[in-house]
Amino acid sequence: MSEYTRDPQTDRATDALPEAGRGAVAALIRVAELYDPSVAHRAALRAIVASRLSEKLAATPTERLLTIAASALADADLAVSRPDVPEAARAPERSVLCATLVERVPGLDRVSAVLRSQDERWDGSGAPDGLGGSEIPLASRIVTAVEELVGNPAAGLLPSWGPSLARLEARSGSELDPDIVHALAALDLESIDAPLTPSAAVLDLLEQALP
């Protein structure tokens, strides 16, 4: 049993992401709302999809909370990255940078651990630790797939879900967990609305995930 997965009978979600940590996630998204609304918008969309997906996968309360928070903060490295550097050029160092930045925020150490593994790949070809298959924490596998699915829509816009799912299916079994891709394809993504206030949407999702 990994540090990310707990026995459902003893799972203490509030220990994994205490109130201070949940508030910190919302505060970070609020900062993004002020300085780059598109970043905040994508963070909330990822959190929405991650919440639905983790519920469908019967994740524990701890896994759900960590998945929602980590999905919202999956591109935290943008805070210190040059805006002209494409996403492909940010890997593999970006996951370590994300984890390092988030780890310094009180209450987010477990979220940091999830973010460290977001660039691992199902076939073991990823970074930074070369994990593969179920060695990769469930929360990290979800974050990887959700980030790819949502992509980079501008503030107020929604992804084109069909083409996005097709990209995931092409990478299923190699880069992405096939069970997660299958579960994503079964979600009613068309029912997702653009969040009006991303930080409030993320905080609501975190509170709703509490046992």
Rounded Cα–Cα distance for residues 97 and 161 (Å): 29
Residue matched to tokens 């990887």: 144
Write down the pLDDT at residue 170: 97
123's CB contacts (< 8 A; 6+ apart) are 132, 173, 174, 175
Positive or negative CA dihedral for 7, 12, 16, 17?
Answer: positive
For residue 67, what are its two tokens? 């998945």
Per-residue pLDDT 10s for the chain (211 aa) are: 333 444 444 457 778 899 999 999 999 999 999 999 999 999 999 999 999 999 999 999 999 999 999 999 999 888 665 555 555 555 557 899 999 999 999 999 999 999 999 999 999 999 999 999 999 999 999 999 999 999 999 999 999 999 999 999 999 999 999 999 999 999 999 999 999 999 999 999 999 999 8
**How many C-beta atoms lie closer than 10 Å to residue 132's C-beta?**
14
Task: Give, as one character, the DSSP assignment of residue 84.
Answer: T
41 neighbors 154 (Cβ within 8 angstroms): yes
Rounded Cα gap, residues 193 and 130, in angstroms: 36
Residue 81 CB contacts under 8 Å (≥ 6 apart), including other chains = 90, 94, 97
CA distances from 27 to 21, 24, 147 (A): 10, 5, 20
Torsion sign, CA atoms 1, 205, 196, 198: negative
